[in-house]
Amino acid sequence: MSRHCICGLVAGVAVTLSLGVTTARAQEFKVTLNAPYDGSNAAFFLAEEKGYYAAEGLKLAMDASGGSGEVATRIGTGTYDFGFGDINVLMEFNAKNPENAGKAVYMLYYRSPLSVGSLAKAGINKPADLDRRKLGGSLTDGAYKLFAAYAALAKVDAGSVQWSYGDLRLRETMLLRGDVDGILGFDSTMYFNLVRQGIVPSDIKLMYYSDVGLNVYGNAIVASKKVLESNPRAVKGFVTASAKGWHDAIANPAAAIAALKKKSPLIDEKLELAKLEWLIKNQLVTDESRRSGLGSVDQQRLASSFETVSKAFGLPKVPTTAEVWNAEFLPSADINKLPN
C-alpha cells in the first residue's frame, strides 16, 4: 500500500472517530427541576452558562416541576433522565415501584427545609396548634407527602386536620385569602413568596419538621434507572458539571441568579438572590457538609431517616440505602469542598 493511501486511510479513520465524538457530544437529556425556575435551582443554569455540561458532552432540556413528588414520578417513569428532588419521596416511590427505581447520586440539602408555614394571626406556635386546623398543600410536594411522618413525631392529631389542595404556585394564595390556617412546603419557597406578596417577615411563622426529630436529608440530584444502566458516563458527567455549578453558586450567588434571569427574565432578582443565599446558609452549609463536603451522605443517618420515614409512610419494609442512594458517581473532593 502506498504512503498516499495509508495517509488517506488514517485521515478517514480520524474523520470517523471525530464524527463519533461529535455524535456522543450531541446527546440530549431531560432534567426535571424541583420547582418553578427560581433561586433554588439557579445553580444548574449557572453550570449550563459556564459550559460545564457541554464539556461533559451533555445537551440538556431543564424543565420546571410541581414539586419533589412530581420529580420522583418523572424519574421513575423514565420520562426524565435527571432530577433535583427530595430523597425521602424518592425512597417511597422506589419502595412501591422497585422495577423503576432511580437513585439519588449527589446530596445537596443537608438540613431538610420541610416546614409548616403560617401567619402570626393564626396562632400556630407549636405542633399541637395544628389539631383541627385547615392546612394547604400540593399533592405532588414532598412536604405534603412527609406530613404523616412529621405528625407522628410531633404527636399531631393528623386525622383532625382539614386539607385544601392546590398547585404549588397557588399555595401561598390560599393562606393569604384565609382559605387555610397554614401551608406546607420548603421554608424558603413559602417565606419569599409571602414576602413578595407584601407580608412583613416578622409575621411569617415556620415550624420545621426537623425540630421534632425528623432528621432527614432533603433534595439531591437523582438519576433514572434507564440512564444509570444505559449511560453511566453521562451520569458521571451530569453530576460533575452540576457539582461545579453549585460550587460556583455558593461562591458567587449573584452570578447564579444572573444566569437564571436569562432563562426566566421576569424573576425578581433581589428576591431570588435572597432565596438562594437562604438555602446556602440553612440547607447546604452544615457541620456535616463542612466536614465531608457536598455530595456524600452519612450512611447511618440516611438509614435511620429511612426507618423513620418508612414507618410514617406505612411501607411494608424499610428500603436499604443502596436501593435509593448510589455514591459511585461523586466527583473529586476538590469539587465537593465548600468554598471558603
DSSP state letters, 230-257: H-HHHHHHHHHHHHHHHHHHHH-HHHHH
Last residue of a domain, one of 212, 244, 273: 212
Rounded to whole angstroms, the Cα distance separating 39 from 272 reads 5
The C-alpha atoms of residue 172 and residue 46 are separated, in whole angstroms, by 28
Q: What local confidence, expressed as pLDDT, does residue 14 receive?
A: 44
Whether residue 31 contacts residue 37, with contact meaning beta carbons closer than 8 Å, is answered with: no
Judge if 38 and 72 occupy the same domain: yes
Residue 10 in this model has a pLDDT that exceeds 80: no
112 or 134: whose pLDDT is higher?
A: 134
Neighbours of 222 (CB within 10 A): 31
**Where does a domain end: 160, 195, 212?**
212
Q: Give CA angle at 255 (252, 257), nearest 5°.
A: 115
Do 159 and 274 belong to one domain? no
- Confidence (pLDDT) at 170: 86
Is the pLDDT confidence value at 17 over 70? no
45 and 137 together in one domain = no
Is pLDDT of 13 > 50?
no
Per the listing, cell 464524527 goes with 19
The mean pLDDT value of the chain amounts to: 91
- Asked if residue 1 has pLDDT above 90, the reply is no
**pLDDT at residue 241 greater than cutoff 90:** yes
pLDDT of res. 23: 40
Number of structural domains found in the chain: 2
Q: What would the mean pLDDT of 285-299 be, rounded to a whole number?
A: 97
CATH number at residue 306: 3.40.190.10
Q: In which domain, by residue range, is 166 found?
A: 114-212
Question: What would the mean pLDDT of 254-264 be, rounded to a whole number?
Answer: 98
Q: What confidence score (pLDDT) does residue 340 get?
A: 83
Question: Does the structure show a pLDDT above 70 at 181?
Answer: yes
My answer on whether 64 and 203 are in the same domain is no
Question: Alpha carbon of 282 to those of 109, 114, 154: distances in Å?
Answer: 9, 12, 22
| pLDDT for the residue 215 | 87
* End-of-domain residue from the set 212, 239, 258: 212
Cβ-proximal residues to 54 (8 Å cutoff; 6+ apart), any chain = 25
Whether residue 20 is predicted with pLDDT greater than 50 in this model: the reply is: no
Same domain, 95 and 232: yes
What are the C-alpha distances in Å from 197 to residues 143, 145, 321? 22, 26, 41
Q: What is the pTM of this model?
A: 0.85
Predicted confidence (pLDDT) at residue 280 exceeds the cutoff of 50 = yes
In angstroms, how far apart are the furthest CA atoms of the chain?
A: 90
The predicted pLDDT at position 309 comes to 87
